[in-house]
Amino acid sequence: EPEVTQTPSHQVTQMGQEVILRCVPISNHLYFYWYRQILGQKVEFLVSFYNNEISEKSEIFDDQFSVERPDGSNFTLKIRSTKLEDSAMYFCASILNSNQPQHFGDGTRLSIL
Amino acid sequence: GESVGLHLPTLSVQEGDNSIINCAYSNSASDYFIWYKQESGKGPQFIIDIRSNMDKRQGQRVTVLLNKTVKHLSLQIAATQPGDSAVYFCAENMNTGFQKLVFGTGTRLLVSP
């Protein structure tokens, strides 16, 4: 069964540094998402992306965050200047159409020191 | 994907029992609901979904019930197995266009052999 893959599985970064989290969504999917989960808390929506542009973003997704689909297979989340409170699990998800359940990757654990 | 919190509701059952996990959702306009299972170190895994024009849907060993009057969802797992031990999340779709999921806080299911 096709799956969403995310790399790296764990990223350790110094505060203030830029970080890029990578995702390869399921190949024929058209809608792409990033969520985060702070330890002990619920999964939170960050951003949705369709037709090469952001369709919706949450208040968490401020100017420090950006997303990109640089080619036909990758979907990236960049944090320009990381803060301690960015430490969390980040999940990528994708769907073919908005009537289907989102398929999630296994996440990247981001640790900011 | 660490989703365990000190205050995560926990349901403990014996192998072979039926389990019922409950969820209250927030938006009466939500039109699509999904149950996910999250095992340690993994991303959310789709279990079953239901649209707002239905009140019950059955899958293999799982049933989802939707009560729109009180904004309540439940997940019933028949003949629970040790492999069902995980954290279970309900999610509601808050955007009918691009699908934006809002997750509940989760319930930990512990199945004893």
Tell me the pLDDT tens digit for each residue of A33-69. 999 999 888 899 999 999 999 999 999 999 999 999 9
Written as one letter, the residue type at A64 is Q
| Tens digit of each residue's pLDDT (9 = 90 or more) over A64-105 | 999 999 888 999 999 999 999 999 999 999 999 988 999 999
Confidence class of residue B96 from pLDDT cuts 50, 70 and 90?
A: low
B35: left (phi over 0), alpha (psi -120 to 50) or beta: beta
* Average pLDDT for B44-73: 96
| Tens digit of each residue's pLDDT (9 = 90 or more) over A18-36 | 999 999 999 999 999 999 9
Q: Does position B5 have pLDDT exceeding 50, yes or no?
A: no
| Tens digit of each residue's pLDDT (9 = 90 or more) over B63-85 | 999 999 999 999 999 999 999 99
B26 or B46, which is more confident:
B46
Alpha-carbon distance A76 to A74, whole Å? 6
Alpha-carbon distance B82 to B78, whole Å? 12
- Mutation pick from A32, A35, A37 vs chain B, by most beta carbons of B within 10 Å, is A37
With pLDDT > 90 as the criterion, what percentage of chain B qualifies? 82
Beta-carbon separation of B43 and A44 below 8 A: no
CA distance A18 to chain B (A): 22
Beta-carbon separation of A106 and B42 below 8 A: yes
A2 or B78, which is more confident:
B78
Q: Which residue has the tokens 């707002």?
A: B52
Question: Measured between CB atoms, does B1 come within 8 Å of chain A?
Answer: yes
Written as one letter, the residue type at A16 is G
With pLDDT > 70 as the criterion, what percentage of chain B qualifies? 93
Written as one letter, the residue type at B63 is T
Assess contact for B101 and B92: CB atoms under 8 A: yes
Q: Does position B3 have pLDDT exceeding 50, yes or no?
A: no
- Mutation pick from B88, B100, B105, B107 vs chain A, by most beta carbons of A within 10 Å, is B100
Question: Measured between CB atoms, does B87 come within 8 Å of chain A?
Answer: no
Alpha-carbon distance A69 to A32, whole Å? 9
Q: Phi and psi at residue A64, in whole multiples of 5°?
A: -80, -15
- Closest in B1, B7, B96 to A106, CB measured: B1
**Both tokens of residue A14?**
């110094």
Determine the pLDDT at residue B7.
67
Q: Does position B21 have pLDDT exceeding 70, yes or no?
A: yes
Beta-carbon separation of A48 and B49 below 8 A: no
* Average pLDDT for B77-95: 94
* Average pLDDT for B44-53: 96
Which residues make Cβ contacts (< 8 Å) with residue A67, sequence separation at least 6? Answer: A32, A34, A47, A49, A54, A75, A76, A77, A78
Alpha-carbon distance A24 to B110, whole Å? 32
Beta-carbon separation of A43 and B100 below 8 A: no
Angle at A21 between CA A3 and CA B93, to 5 degrees: 60
Rg (C-alpha) for chain B, rounded Å, is: 14
Beta-carbon separation of A56 and B98 below 8 A: yes
Assess contact for A44 and A37: CB atoms under 8 A: yes
Determine the pLDDT at residue B1.
36
Binding-site residues on chain A for chain B (CB distance < 8 A): 4, 6, 31, 33, 35, 37, 39-45, 48, 50, 55-56, 89, 91, 95, 98-99, 101-107, 109
Q: Does position B92 have pLDDT exceeding 80, yes or no?
A: yes
